[in-house]
């Protein structure tokens, strides 16, 4: 069968994560949530360690802890704590706690390098199904809430005037972010999923005049980077996750060189 090839599974997993990360990354750029996504992603390592400790699905553990971390950061920020401070503290603390927890597990070995930087070539059919279910959930959530999310992004006062609760829309973004992190941890790893959210959206921004076009172009750029990263890593024998992000960075540099000519 087609899915029996590890290369096909890897490519499809990368495409699925990029499809969800591209449009969501646009809100990360617009709302300046780069550090917020990093804190959520780093927390997923703690979720992996706890899931292994209780013999639970790794995807579920990463999803639950990433969601809890995102909600905790949002709550602390609303109570007046400086956002950059709380994000810096939680991001590093969550990663450290995850690594410590993994080292304390008796008779259990966790491939930390795989979860930190991705191990897309070991994606199974079950992993692939979870990735695409998560990607479709995020895509559906963003499509459903698109107008309200854009209004809330423009400003809290404007959203309230339009009858939209900005905290509710922030919750939807938090859920979507946690799902993408849980899906992407096997593809590019906890340390690089933030880059897959940020770089394609930042690359697409100079070439688009509407939010919808930026979301579509960001998804396309992410999917192209995922496909090139998987194929290119086989030829030059490099890690797939870092290869995907490196190619995305190359596109970002080219976009910055080309965008002044468009203006």
Name which of 25, 13, 20, 38 is nearest 229 in CA terms: 13
What pLDDT, on the 0 to 100 scale, is given for residue 252?
A: 94
Name which of 107, 103, 104, 115 is nearest 45 in CA terms: 115
Rounded CA-CA distance 219/196 in Å is 10
Q: How many residues does the chain have?
A: 263
Name which of 46, 57, 195, 226 is nearest 129 in CA terms: 57
- Per residue of the chain (263 residues), give pLDDT as tens: 555 577 788 888 889 999 999 999 999 888 887 777 777 888 888 888 888 888 788 888 888 888 888 777 777 666 555 466 777 777 788 888 888 887 887 766 677 777 888 888 788 888 888 889 989 999 999 999 899 989 888 887 788 888 888 888 888 888 898 889 888 888 888 888 888 899 999 999 988 889 999 999 999 999 999 999 988 888 888 888 889 999 999 999 998 887 656 55
Class of domain 2-257: mainly alpha
What pLDDT, on the 0 to 100 scale, is given for residue 107?
A: 67
Query: Mean pLDDT over all residues of the chain?
Result: 83
Angle between helices 211-236 and 193-204 (to 10 degrees): 130
What pLDDT, on the 0 to 100 scale, is given for residue 1?
A: 59
C-alpha dihedral, 32 to 142 to 251 to 117, nearest 10°? 80
pLDDT, tens digit (0-9, with 9 covering 90-100), for 1-31: 555 577 788 888 889 999 999 999 999 888 8
pTM of the shown model: 0.87
What pLDDT, on the 0 to 100 scale, is given for residue 82?
A: 47
């Amino acid at each position: 069968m087609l899915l029996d090839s590890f290369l096909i599974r890897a490519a499809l997993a990368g495409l699925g994560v990029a499809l969800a990360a591209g449009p969501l990354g646009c809100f990360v750029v617009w709302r300046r949530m780069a550090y917020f996504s990093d804190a959520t992603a780093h927390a997923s390592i703690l979720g992996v360690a706890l899931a292994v400790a209780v013999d639970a699905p790794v995807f579920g553990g990463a999803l639950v802890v990433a969601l809890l971390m995102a909600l905790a950061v949002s709550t602390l920020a609303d109570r007046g704590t400086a956002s950059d401070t709380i994000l810096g503290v939680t991001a590093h603390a969550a990663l450290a706690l995850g690594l410590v927890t993994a080292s304390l597990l008796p008779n259990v070995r966790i491939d930390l390098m795989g979860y930190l930087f991705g191990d897309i070539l070991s994606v199974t059919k079950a992993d692939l199904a979870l990735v695409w279910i998560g990607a479709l959930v995020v895509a559906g959530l963003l499509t459903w809430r698109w107008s309200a999310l854009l209004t809330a992004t423009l400003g809290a006062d404007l959203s309230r005037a339009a009858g939209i609760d900005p905290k509710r829309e922030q919750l939807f973004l938090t859920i979507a972010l946690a799902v993408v992190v849980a899906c992407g941890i096997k593809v590019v790893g906890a340390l690089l999923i933030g880059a897959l959210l940020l770089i394609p959206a930042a690359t697409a921004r100079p070439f688009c005049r509407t939010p919808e076009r930026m979301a579509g172009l960001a998804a396309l750029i992410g999917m192209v980077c995922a496909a090139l990263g998987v194929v290119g890593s086989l030829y030059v024998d490099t890690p797939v996750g870092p290869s995907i992000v490196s190619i995305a960075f190359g596109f970002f540099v080219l976009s910055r060189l080309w965008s002044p000519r468009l203006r």
